[in-house]
Structure 1
Amino acid sequence: MKPRLWFVLAGACALLALIIGLVVVLSSGTGPRGYVGNHYQRAAQLDLRGDDDNRAYTSPLPPSTVSRDITAKWKPVSQFADGSGIYLRYSDDAVVIQPRDLGSVIHVMDVDHAHRRYYSRVGSSWGWGSAHGEDFRGRGPGAGK
């Protein structure tokens, strides 16, 4: 009966190790949101109001250097840059890198919210012809017709 007990204990330990491994992997984050969160200094006081999904980070490096770092790890779907900052669009998230003091502030947010917020800057360069969602007509009978 003792050998069976060892198999049960070994199985329980293996299951526990698997659970711990999954928690570590899933909590570290993937994609540009996870990468920025793991490599830049969190600055909650700079979060944009009205967007619960927005997270602000800072870097002592200029926006162009920060952008090169992020895009080297995570290639954006599209990007736009002007004097106000660098705007990176990914499938679900957007990363907006703007100059701040001698470094940068990095905002990571939902791509739809970012497009609405920065439409005057990014315009159709992100691949949408109008502020995303404005021309959608499928809201139900009689809506927008």
Structure 2
Amino acid sequence: MGRGIWIALACVGVVVALIVAVLAVFSGGSGPRGYVPAHYQRAPALDIGGSRDDEAYTSPKPVPVVAREITSRRRPQSQHSDASGVYLRYSDDAVVIQPRGTGSVIHLMDADRAYRHYHSHLGGVWGWGGHRGETFRGGGPGSGK
């Protein structure tokens, strides 16, 4: 084979590698939306009704093990645990891991929706910034009324 064919094959290889890299970035491969579906069993019957954003998954492993697996691969911005489960907040998404039999159910959903749905468990522990400021009433006499 001539030198030109090798150069052409190398160029094709570079283009394929770039396409794969772009697809990995834009498919959510770096956040929980890339990790959870690839490692746990999809369970549509357990989705929280009323939203296409919530996706439920299951694992035969207990909640602490699943939480450790997810947080070791995808570090959350905030994490809260109580008797009802483990709540992981990422920039746009949330992962809620709760007991189900001897295993776990994992809810992957929008962070704002998760906060609204699980507010009784999260209260003020998820340290919201940005647009959540509308709930702040300010301080001092007469302010925020």
TM-score by length of 1: 0.75
**Which residue identity lines up with residue 57 of structure 2 in the other structure?**
Y
Distance in structure 1 (CA, Å) of the matches to 2:14 and 2:128: 47
- Paired residues of 2:63 and 2:103 also in contact (CA < 8 A): yes
Q: CA deviation at 1:9?
A: 5.7
Q: CA deviation at 1:44?
A: 1.4
Q: CA deviation at 1:98?
A: 0.4
- Counterpart in 1 of 2:109? 109
- Paired residues of 2:30 and 2:74 also in contact (CA < 8 A): no
- Counterpart in 2 of 1:25? 24
Distance in structure 2 (CA, Å) of the matches to 1:15 and 1:75: 31
- Paired residues of 1:86 and 1:98 also in contact (CA < 8 A): yes
Distance in structure 2 (CA, Å) of the matches to 1:53 and 1:40: 17
Three-state SS of the structure 2 residue aligned to 1:126 is: coil
Please give the per-residue CA displacement for 1:74-110, whole angstroms capped at 9, x wherever unaligned: 1211111111111111111100000001100000111
Three-state SS of the structure 2 residue aligned to 1:33 is: helix
When the two chains are superposed, the root-mean-square deviation of aligned CA atoms in Å is: 2.9
Three-state SS of the structure 1 residue aligned to 2:91 is: coil
Distance in structure 2 (CA, Å) of the matches to 1:7 and 1:58: 48
Comparing 69-78 and 13-22, the one that deviates more: 13-22
TM-score by length of 2: 0.75
Alignment gaps of 5+ in structure 2: 138-144
Structure 2 matches for 1:59-138, cutoff 5 A? Answer: 59-128=59-128, 132=132, 135=135
Distance 1:12 1:56, change over 3 A: same
Distance in structure 1 (CA, Å) of the matches to 2:104 and 2:19: 35
What is the aligned residue count?
134
Alignment gaps of 5+ in structure 1: 138-144
Please give the per-residue CA displacement for 1:30-54, whole angstroms capped at 9, x wherever unaligned: 2122111111111111111112111
Q: CA deviation at 1:28?
A: 7.1
**Which residue identity lines up with residue 72 of structure 1 in the other structure?**
S
Three-state SS of the structure 2 residue aligned to 1:124 is: coil
Q: CA deviation at 1:29?
A: 2.2
